[in-house]
A = this chain, B = another copy of it.
Amino acid sequence: MTIAVPLGYRLAGVHCGIKKNPAKPDLALVVSDPPAAAAGAYTQNLVFGAPVGWDRKLTPCGGIRAVVVNSGVSNACTGERGDRDAAEMARLAAATVGGEAKQALVMSTGVIGTFLPLDKIALGVQAAFAALGQDGDSLVAAARGMMTTDTRHKLAGRSLLVRGKSIRVCGMAKGAAMIGPNMATMLCLVLTDAALSPAAAQEMLSGAVDETFNCIAVEGHMSTSDTVLFLANGAASAEQPAGDDLAALRRAVLETCTELAIAIPDDGEGVSHLVTIDVKGCRTRQEARQIAKTVAESALVKTAIAGADPNWGRIVSAAGYAGVPLDAGKISLKLNGFPLYQRGAPVTFDAPAVSQSIRGNRQTSIELWFGEGDAQCRFWTTDLTAEYVRLNADYTT
């Protein structure tokens, strides 16, 4: 699928020397020629990287001209010097287009506790500025500049017609999924050439993140650096969409985020199954998500799926300790469509057939019903394989 770069944006990805391999880009620069409205969603970790602190103070806001991202060093757990370095990185990016530091947002991912090599980043920003483009190659280069241990770059996009004008949404993400430098940081940048106020952009982004990036789990270890940024520069149309048009744009942003979010657990080395968990019949969406997250983070559930073992007791019991009030006698469960547990009692089932359906498919479906209400949540996770452990057991030394 060809993904169109929204109007008014120019992008580049270059190697500036943070990563050892010169074939791997480690810096991405995105410039918006019209000043853009910007929104952000960030890690809830109280130990957060300096770039998160910088962006969180600024967004939602207008007037953003540049986003700069580096991979290899996360600038987290770096104290006050880290804060100064993040500000300097923003200043360098904004200066390329004659802007002030506060007109640039920054993202960093990589090793924790190491200071940013600002000399390399300064040269990298210059090189990236010289390389800026609006074609597909520039988009891919920028997406590759934010990668750490991702095996492939992650891009998604949608186009839609609003009052006869074509509007584009495109997003890039990095997610190290099962393995990652320290903790599988997730970064994402979504761009649109629609016009939105900062508040409207923030509301649209928060809604999309709630259903996508907040509904994926790999090992449940919350990063210091998770960041999703959303820019809307109005280059395609200065008029803010409203009503059905706004809903269509919202859907395009949601679909873009959904594709990118699923791509993260799907990309872990060591992952042999992408698991979709549908929790239904809850009182509230928040409760449904809490149950889904608890099942998604159970090492016993994840190892069972890696082994194609229809061990439904692990799934039902994980739901039971999610901290959500429930009646154990009303729980039902399907695995890959096979009913295994109904209204609190076991069902006789063909275990070899269920096992074969897990073994034979990369995707596994878990459906849970609670009979408490109408709220539901879809969540994505991975299995847990011995390869995951091997990859994560020796990262920094």
Asked if A393 is an interface residue, CB under 8 A from chain B, the answer is yes
Q: Which residues of B contact A318 (CB under 8 A)?
A: 221
Asked if A384 is an interface residue, CB under 8 A from chain B, the answer is yes
Query: Which of these, B79, B307, B397, contacts A393 with CB under 8 Å?
Result: B307
Q: A182-B311, A300-B219 are in contact. Are A325 and B46 (CB under 8 A)?
A: yes
Q: Which residues of B contact A392 (CB under 8 A)?
A: 299-300, 303-304, 307
Q: Tell me the count of chain A residues lying within 8 A, CB to CB, of chain B.
A: 69
Q: A328-B46, A341-B77 are in contact. Are A112 and B313 (CB under 8 A)?
A: yes
Asked if B304 and A395 sit within 8 Å, CB to CB, the answer is yes
Asked if A48 is an interface residue, CB under 8 A from chain B, the answer is yes
Least CB separation from A385: chain B residue: B389
Asked if A312 is an interface residue, CB under 8 A from chain B, the answer is yes
Q: Which residues of B contact A355 (CB under 8 A)?
A: 397
A191: min CB distance to chain B, Å: 29
Asked if A222 is an interface residue, CB under 8 A from chain B, the answer is yes
Scoring A residues 306 to 340 as 1 if CB is less than 8 Å from chain B, else 0, what string do you get?
Answer: 11111111101111110001101101000000000
Q: A47-B316, A47-B317, A355-B397 are in contact. Are A303 and B389 (CB under 8 A)?
A: yes
Scoring A residues 334 to 355 as 1 if CB is less than 8 Å from chain B, else 0, what string do you get?
Answer: 0000000100111000011001
Q: Please provide the chain A residues from 351 to 397 with a CB less than 8 Å away from any CB of chain B in the complex.
A: 351-352, 355, 384-390, 392-397
Asked if A45 is an interface residue, CB under 8 A from chain B, the answer is yes
Least CB separation from A391: chain B residue: B303
Asked if B397 and A351 sit within 8 Å, CB to CB, the answer is yes
A142: min CB distance to chain B, Å: 26
From A76, A183, A224, residue with most partner B Cβ within 10 Å? A183
Q: Which residues of B contact A46 (CB under 8 A)?
A: 320-321, 325-326, 328
Q: Which residues of B contact A76 (CB under 8 A)?
A: 313, 317
Q: A47-B328, A182-B313 are in contact. Are A346 and B77 (CB under 8 A)?
A: yes
Asked if A113 and B394 sit within 8 Å, CB to CB, the answer is no
Q: Which residues of B contact A223 (CB under 8 A)?
A: 317
| Other contacts beyond A219-B299, A303-B392, A386-B386: 8, CB < 8 A | A76-B313, A77-B313, A79-B344, A220-B298, A221-B300, A351-B397, A352-B397, A386-B387
Q: A79-B329, A183-B314 are in contact. Are A393 and B320 (CB under 8 A)?
A: no
A345: min CB distance to chain B, Å: 4
Asked if B45 and A311 sit within 8 Å, CB to CB, the answer is no
Asked if A45 and B309 sit within 8 Å, CB to CB, the answer is no
Q: A221-B300, A299-B299, A326-B46 are in contact. Are A311 and B79 (CB under 8 A)?
A: no
Asked if A78 is an interface residue, CB under 8 A from chain B, the answer is yes
Asked if A111 is an interface residue, CB under 8 A from chain B, the answer is yes
Asked if A44 is an interface residue, CB under 8 A from chain B, the answer is yes
Q: How far is the CA of A397 from the CA of B304 in the complex (A)?
A: 10
A129: min CB distance to chain B, Å: 31
Least CB separation from A298: chain B residue: B221
Asked if B45 and A396 sit within 8 Å, CB to CB, the answer is no
A385: min CB distance to chain B, Å: 6
Scoring A residues 233 to 247 as 1 if CB is less than 8 Å from chain B, else 0, what string do you get?
Answer: 000000000000000
Q: Which residues of B contact A346 (CB under 8 A)?
A: 77-78, 113-114
Query: Which of these, B48, B309, B312, B314, contacts A221 with CB under 8 Å?
Result: B314
Scoring A residues 90 to 111 as 1 if CB is less than 8 Å from chain B, else 0, what string do you get?
Answer: 0000000000000000000001
Query: Which of these, B298, B317, B345, contacts A219 with CB under 8 Å?
Result: B298
Asked if A393 and B182 sit within 8 Å, CB to CB, the answer is no
A382: min CB distance to chain B, Å: 11
A104: min CB distance to chain B, Å: 24
Q: Which residues of B contact A301 (CB under 8 A)?
A: 221
